Structure 1
Amino acid sequence: MDTDVAPPLGGWQQTWRLVAAAALGIPFWLSTGTALPRGCATDTCSWFATGDPLVALGCLAVLLLRRRFPLAVAMAVAIAPGGSALATGAALLALCSISTRRRPGEIGAVALGYVAASQFTLVLYPIGSPPGSVWLQLALTALSAGIAVAIGVAVGARRVEVRSLRERAESAEREQTARAAQARALERNRIAREMHDVLAHRISLVAMQAGVLDHRGNLTTEENRTLIRGIADGSHQALEELRDVLGVLRADPGHPEPPQPSLDRIPELVADARASGLDVALTTTVTAEPSDAVGRTCHRVVQEGLTNAAKHAPGARVHVTVEGTAGNELHVSVHNSPATTTPTTRPPASGFGLLGLAERITLAGGKLSHDPTPEGGYVLTARLPWPNHDHDHEKRS
């Protein structure tokens, strides 16, 4: 991770750092002044009272550029204590700042420049010092440099950790947004499949009844009235089912999604097809209730088979068979004989009915087959796994 770029500082942060640097240099400046001979500050040591503070002030001003030119500023300020005791605080701040970059070469060069330049203070000012004081000065300078480096490295490590945590949080937020978008896309696809399954069946029955009215002119008044009533009822039911499906888009915890059809609604599905004029027979040997997913898939198989029979085989006999036992498989088939009449118009078709049904059955772990029969009819067959779970119970009447 790149540690060169430090977070921007506000005005108050810059101010208190510079004030702290100035305050830190004052003890070094005063200690140097007390070690000077009496009267030196107003005679031969006028630099102490004028030049020394000016150099320190210049160092504080240069520190404002340390984020733009970190190494150059740090090196320039670090050697300033050679000509200004008051600039020691600014030098330590510069050393601490360059240490936040955690580059050993830069830190070593600046620290060495600071330690070496600080020894020139003994040469600049006529300070009488006992033997061995040079080594004490060197040790104290090295200790202060080490403390500044340690603080700077710790601050740099903390910045890297905070940046890493921020990036991880942003990455997690992006992933959460992507997962939410994916979930919305999957929900839209599911709703699209539901709309096709529900509406295609209902509209196909309405179209079949309208076709009968269109090409048969020998119907009695009662038969015409029955077909017209069937078209009106079917259209109304299609609108109701469309409203239910689209209601999923507005669903919230206070408005749960309406229950999905299952195995127990197949007789109702067959009865609707009969009322629309389709000749349908139902045979079922199932006496237990499978899981919701298996029952819903079985219902969709029968619905798709009846829809296709109404579209492509008008007047044909349709036989629906549902059989199976828990712990084995559930078999469902929709077989229609050849068409006995020819539709006057081509029935509408999306081309995705069987494709979507195959996807459903594959997700349920089953197999789908659809083939023409030798006599010219068509058969749609599905085999669905039916695990024998403890929560299976007798089918509701």
Structure 2
Amino acid sequence: MSTVTRAPSGGLEDPAVDPALLLADPAGAPDDVPRARRSPRDWIVDVVSFVATVAFAVGTLGEMTSRPVPPPDPLLLAELVVGLGSCVALWWRRRWPVAVAVGVTTVGALLDAGGAAILVALFTVAVHRRWPTVVAVTAVNAAAFAAYVAVRTVDGMPEPVFVSLGLALLAAVVSWGMFVRARRQLLASLRERAVRAEAEQRLRVEQARHLERSRIAREMHDVLAHRLSLLSMHAGALEFRPDAPAAEVARAAGVVRASARQALVDLRGVIGVLRDGADGEAPERPQPTLGDLPALVEELRQAGLRVQAEYRVADLGSVPAGTGRTAYRVVQEALTNVRRHAPGTVATVAVTGGPAQGLTVEVRNPAPAGGTPPALPSGGTGLIGVLERVSLAGGRLEHGWTPTGDFRVRVELPWSPATA
């Protein structure tokens, strides 16, 4: 499928980057930086955690009251108040994870109903805080668990088994939380690298566009200098020879008019283009036109590139200089890409057109032997320069893979730009 590229109306738009992304991800935030407002995902997680811990607390109280010898009423009341209070405190675990974890652990150290809330608070600390803080809070939990084992009796299993299961549960919660934190840090790092890579790519694109515009400006400078020199010479002749024969005056005026018109046509192609070259640069060689295209193709053949060229233009040299120069550069860049990315293939160049229908240039080549058509590279700047030239000439560029497996670059140019 071909990609159609038209003249850009402005510069590249910067992607919307939310400056609160890192704050929204608590894994990368310092300990004293508060979290951003809860996201929908945070609300879902908090509601699920609250409902699960409340269900655990209610289930624990139901199990205690159904025992043959239920605990005394003061203990049941303490279980109810502390268990539900610990569940409610979890709503502030994102803002003050350490304070909530230490508080629910200290208050509910000797009770059962708040056990699930204690584990959730410990998990939050492991996710949101650095490892020294996690180790300290884990030590507080371990000490509270040791106090529970020393004071409360454990029914239904040997005490060593209960202690082993409790410590294993603490280790599993802390390990899971630290894994989640590490994963979030990795995602934040990859996101930052992606943003930086996009910024660098935009910079490379802008540099390529400026360099290409500078080259175009230098090319047009030579053409305009020639036109303006002719104009100045014939205008000077009219000034100093007012008594010249009428035929000579008419001929000089015609040259002045033709040179001025052609200078305007050439100048239209570089409106808004700034020349960044340093003063004192050596003048470049005369720029090529479409009449030089056969020589370019022959030169590439001698260099080893297999090219089939077809010219359906009555006279390549009759194409206007600006249009021919753009077409020449398009073919040059396309064949250079064929030599670089698809060596050994046969490239086909077709140039068709005329003054009525304009000029069409098409370069195509099959995929490299033994492979499938590769994806278009995103970091290349050759096609960016081609697009800049074609856009300034008022043309249209298409590039991409065709259904038959060929890569095609097609450019449609006006035969001669209209005078501005």
Taking structure 1 as the reference length, the TM-score comes to 0.55
Partner of 1:20: 52
Q: Deviations over 1:227-246 (max 9, x none)?
A: 01110111111122223455
Q: Is 2:238 the partner of 1:213?
A: yes
Q: 197, 202, 209: which one pairs with 1:177?
A: 202
Instruction: Find the counterpart in structure 2 of residue 187 from structure 1.
Output: 212
In structure 2, stretches of 5+ residues that fail to align are 1-26, 275-285, 301-420
Query: Residue 136 of structure 1: which of 150, 158, 161 is its match?
Result: 161
**Superposed CA offset, 1:37-89 (max 9, x none):** 5243xxx34322x2212212222232222232222222222334324311111
Question: What residue in structure 1 maps to residue 86 of structure 2?
Answer: 59
Residue 90 of structure 1 is aligned with which of 113, 117, 121? 117
5 Å-filtered alignment, 1:242-253, equals 242-245=267-270
Q: Would the alpha carbon gap of residues 263 and 3 (structure 1) be closer, same or farther in structure 2, given more than 3 Å must change?
A: closer
State the Cα distance separating 1:201 from its structure 2 match.
1.5
Letter in 2 for 1:89: A
Counterpart position of 2:288: 262
Residues 129 and 242 from structure 1, CA distance in 2 versus in 1: closer, same or farther, beyond 3 angstroms? closer
Per the alignment, residue 193 of structure 2 pairs with 168
1:323-355, Cα deviation, whole Å (9 max, x unpaired) = xxxxxxxxxxxxxxxxxxxxxxxxxxxxxxxxx
Task: Give the alignment partner of residue 69 of structure 2, picking from 15, 38, 48.
Answer: 38
Judged with a 3 Å threshold, the aligned counterparts in structure 2 of structure 1 residues 184 and 29 are, in CA distance, closer, same or farther, namely farther
Contact 2:64/2:70, CA 8 A, preserved across alignment: no
Offset of residue 116 of structure 1: 2.7
- Counterpart AA for 2:136: A
Determine the C-alpha separation between the residues in 2 that align with 1:289 and 1:114.
Answer: 81
Local SS of the residue matching 2:120: helix
Supply the AA of the counterpart residue of 2:143: A
Percent identity over the alignment is 32
User: Which has the bigger relative contact order, CA under 8 A and spacing at least 6?
Assistant: 2
Question: Which amino acid in structure 1 is aligned with residue 241 of structure 2?
Answer: R
1 CA distance for matches of 2:196 and 2:171? 37
How has the CA–CA distance of structure 1 residues 248 and 223 changed in structure 2, closer, same or farther, with 3 Å as cutoff? same
CA–CA distance in structure 1, aligned partners of residues 136 and 232 of structure 2: 89
The equivalent of 1:204 in structure 2 is 229
Is the CA contact 1:66–1:73 (under 8 Å) kept in the aligned structure 2? Answer: yes
TM-aligned CA distance change 1:160 to 1:94, over 3 Å: same
State how far apart, in whole Å, the 2-side matches of 1:140 and 1:28 are. Answer: 18
Matched, 1:47 2:72: no
Aligned equivalent of 1:100: 127
Quick one: which amino acid aligns to residue 204 of structure 2? R
Amino acid of the structure 2 residue aligned with 1:108: V
Which secondary structure state, in structure 1, belongs to the residue aligned with residue 244 of structure 2?
Answer: coil
1:58 maps to a residue whose letter is G
**C-alpha deviation, 1:102, in angstroms:** 6.1
Tell me if the contact between 1:78 and 1:111 (Cα under 8 Å) persists in the aligned partners: no
The 3 A distance-change label for structure 1 pair 119 and 209 is same
Q: Structure 2 matches for 1:309-324, cutoff 5 A?
A: none
User: Aligned-pair distance for 1:20?
Assistant: 2.9
CA distance in 2, matches of 1:223, 1:91: 104
3-state secondary structure, aligned to 1:79: helix
How far apart in 2 are the matches of 1:238 and 1:128? 99
Indicate if the aligned counterparts of 1:92 and 1:148 stay in contact, CA closer than 8 A.
yes
Question: 2:114 is paired with a residue of what secondary structure?
Answer: helix
Query: In 2, distance between residues paired with 1:144 and 1:51?
Result: 24
Q: Is the 8 A contact 2:100 2:121 kept in 1?
A: yes
Q: Give the C-alpha shift of residue 129 in structure 1.
A: 4.8
Stretches of structure 1 lacking an aligned partner (at least 5 in a row): 250-259, 267-285, 292-397
Q: TM-score scaled to structure 2, two decimals?
A: 0.52
Q: Bigger radius of gyration, 1 or 2?
A: 1
2:180 to 155, 177, 192: 155
Partner Cα distance (1:101, 1:117) in 2: 22
Task: For 1:224 and 1:66, locate their aligned partners in 2 and report how far apart those are by CA, in whole Å.
Answer: 93
**1:77 pairs with 2:104:** yes
Rounded Cα–Cα distance in structure 2 between residues aligned with 1:28 and 1:115: 21
Alignment of structure 1 residues 379-390 onto 2, 5 Å? none
